[in-house]
Amino acid sequence: MAPVPRSENADMTSDVTDSLVRDEQIRIVYGQAWPAVAGGIAAAAIFAWIYSATAEQHTLALWFAAQLTVYIARGALSLAFRRRTEGSSAGSWALAHLVGILITASLWGAIWALFVDADAPLHMAVAMMWALGLGASAVGAYSVHLPSFVAFYVPVVLPAFIYLLTTESAINTGIGLGLVAHVFVLVGAITHINRSMIESIRLNFALASEIEERRSIERKLRELSQRDGLTGLANRRHFDETLELEWRRARRDENPVSLILIDIDNFKTFNDAYGHLAGDECLVRVSHALLGAIKRPGDIAARYGGEEFAIVLPNTEIDSACEFAESLRASIEAMAIPHRTNEAAHDVVTISAGVATITPQTSIPGEALIRYADEALYRAKSAGRNRVISDSHREERH
């Protein structure tokens, strides 16, 4: 596959960011749905009460019922949005939200044709105050998402403007022109607020991405600081920390901890015969065998130093630890890595292993387990190498 040009990579990154921003905008407006629903129902009830003395009762009741139905539907839509499945289309949720507020706003805009009387100054003032108040509330509710603001504000304010200009009253015309000035000021303000909020959302995503990237780097650095550079096994420091942790846990739970110390037999003569590069390759192959044998999450294989390795087996009895060590010995011998100077076997690489198991007590330090395993390893090498010896049972397996 041909590499993507740098500019196209930047565009794809921009597209992803814009998608995240749009999703966050929809999440915010849906998060504000319940205050809008509660406030809208209360406002519709107050408006219906104010105009109940002058408006046609049947029309007013139908209008209020329609408002109540739409607001309840918007509340249900908000609940559905909270329970949405991962991967659901943000565009569909945005469209549903816009339809809901467009219907709500259109019902509010209809009051000018249904209920407002140009010859009743008090009712004109109430309706005008209502239109301005609804427009101002839209700034707070929908400034993060301009399509939502437009879908609500235009159907509320435009009918008022048309009504005021068609009443053939100089005062109403003046109020209508004042409304136009109010619209320009409000649109300018919300445009600035919207731009600032979108930049804030982008900044939040950028900061979240940077924090996650730093955490990822820290995790990688921590893993590198715990690994031996050549073999990929845990290093001596990580081994010491793990053994101390497992020792405390075993003492608390009264469970045994087993330790296997492993030494590659006659490794110095291997380096002398084959060279240090071949010696490194031998260490890597033995390490991979040890790592591949680890099956339980709590077990750990480490490079103890030079050609020595250590395996910590929490909650493991001595018999099981010895069986595990013997399987390692046999598998490494079966790898048949050439070693013509190895006196412990027929010209192949072998290992010796010492196994120790202790159920920790308060009076026993963790270093005791290392000492016992090291003593068992020493006896395994003294007995001819290529064998497993248990410190606790003092029995030989080969």
Domains of the chain and any CATH numbers: 6-212 (no CATH), 236-397 (3.30.70.270)
pLDDT exceeds cutoff 90 at 279: yes
Q: What is the pLDDT of residue 173?
A: 79
Give the residue-averaged pLDDT of 32-45.
87
More confident residue, 37 or 136: 37
| Residues in a beta bridge with 305 | 308
Residue with tokens 């469970």: 255
Token pair in block for residue 50: 């104010």
Give the residue-averaged pLDDT of 98-109.
92
Per the document, the length of the chain is 398
Query: Positive or negative, the Cα torsion across 34, 35, 36, 38?
Result: positive
pLDDT exceeds cutoff 80 at 8: no
Percent of the chain with pLDDT over 90: 41
Residue tagged active-site, from 212, 241, 281, 307? 307
Token pair in block for residue 353: 């292993």
Q: What is the pLDDT of residue 392?
A: 57
Give the residue-averaged pLDDT of 363-371.
86
Token pair in block for residue 101: 């507020």
Q: What is the pLDDT of residue 9?
A: 44
Q: What is the pLDDT of residue 158?
A: 86
Q: What is the pLDDT of residue 225?
A: 74
Percent of the chain with pLDDT over 70: 92
pLDDT exceeds cutoff 70 at 23: yes
The pLDDT tens digits for 309-365 are 999 999 999 999 999 999 999 999 999 999 988 877 778 999 999 999 999 886 778
The pLDDT tens digits for 236-258 are 999 999 999 999 999 999 999 99
| Residues in a beta bridge with 261 | 310, 354
Distance between CA atoms of residues 151 and 128, nearest Å: 19
- Confirm whether 241 is a catalytic residue: no
CB crowding 281-290: b at 16 or more within 10 Å, else e? ebbeebbebb
Task: Give me the half-sphere count of Cα atoms (radius 13 Å) on the Cβ side of residue 270.
Answer: 24
More confident residue, 136 or 87: 136
Q: What is the pLDDT of residue 14?
A: 52
Distance between CA atoms of residues 313 and 106, nearest Å: 72
Give the residue-averaged pLDDT of 73-95.
86
Phi, psi dihedrals of residue 258, rounded to the nearest 5°: -110, 145
Question: Predicted confidence band at 394 (pLDDT cuts at 50, 70, 90)?
Answer: very low
| Cβ–Cβ < 8 Å for 264, 377 | no
Give the residue-averaged pLDDT of 55-84.
92
Question: Predicted confidence band at 393 (pLDDT cuts at 50, 70, 90)?
Answer: very low
pLDDT exceeds cutoff 80 at 87: no
pLDDT exceeds cutoff 80 at 46: yes
